[in-house]
A and B are shown apart, each in its own frame.
Chain A
């Protein structure tokens, strides 16, 4: 079991999700860094490494991507836009 009742990734990132997350992280250009609070700053490649290692930072990144994809799937991020375009 990798997800709790609230959809949080509690143990390991499932392999299929890991590959999707890494593919999406590859969209990040190499001239930016992400600040993840006290965890530090990470380049794209370092972030991908954290996902591959399945550590705390990697799991939060995977969780964020998963929640975003779920919202996209629900149409949550398009509703207002389609309404306004009418």
Chain B
């Protein structure tokens, strides 16, 4: 039986457009690994569709990837409308979740784990990234954004490869650390040196909750 990936990819302004396109690498990995993929992109990234899919897949171990804006209580989908909040966490039971959204590992993540989610990887502060003004229409060519989005992509990619939740988190953090160390070694003359503190924040505030040994 193939594994299952449920991913949300709203796209309505610059931030979500970047997350939308950079999620292509996650989709590519899922296809290569033979995962069935439910892609709730753009107008499909709604609460009704997301929670409806989770209801249909109740009890099924699967990877859930959420891209969007968030806070400690909720994550949003298309049009910045809430797609899941703390009242819905029971539907995340038996799931491994990666949330590329702000602050959701403060309350939403622990609530999901308490309600039966196997593991929840997310951020306990704002997830930040830089964009180059002349690359806004071509997000995948943005080398500054890549410094942030490539390492974060490694969480779901490692999970799809069969690594445990803890290992996926560490592998992603190691990718962040490699970039940071290179920038520190290059010093202030590096064109991207200014990103190092922000990369460090994303790395250190990317947390893995629940069962560290959970895997797909």
Contacts and interface: CB of A to CB of B under 8 A. Distances in A.
A associates with B: yes
B101 interface: yes
Nearest to A40: B15
A64 interface: yes
A24 B194 contact: yes
B155 to A, nearest CB: 17
Interface centre among B125, B128, B144, B181 (most CB of A within 10 A): B128
Interface in B130-149: 130-134, 144
B193 A71 contact: no
A75 to B, nearest CB: 11
Interface residues of B, number: 37
A36 interface: yes
Contact of A35 (B70, B71, B131, B201): B131
A8 to B, nearest CB: 10
Interface in B84-117: 101-103
A80 to B, nearest CB: 7
B131 A68 contact: no
A5 interface: no
Contacts of A41: 14-15, 131
A38 B77 CA distance: 12
B133 A24 contact: no
11 contacts: A24-B194, A31-B134, A32-B132, A35-B131, A36-B128, A37-B126, A60-B126, A63-B125, A67-B197, A68-B200, A71-B200
Interface of A: 24-25, 27-29, 31-39, 41, 57, 60, 63-65, 67-69, 71-72, 77-78, 80-81
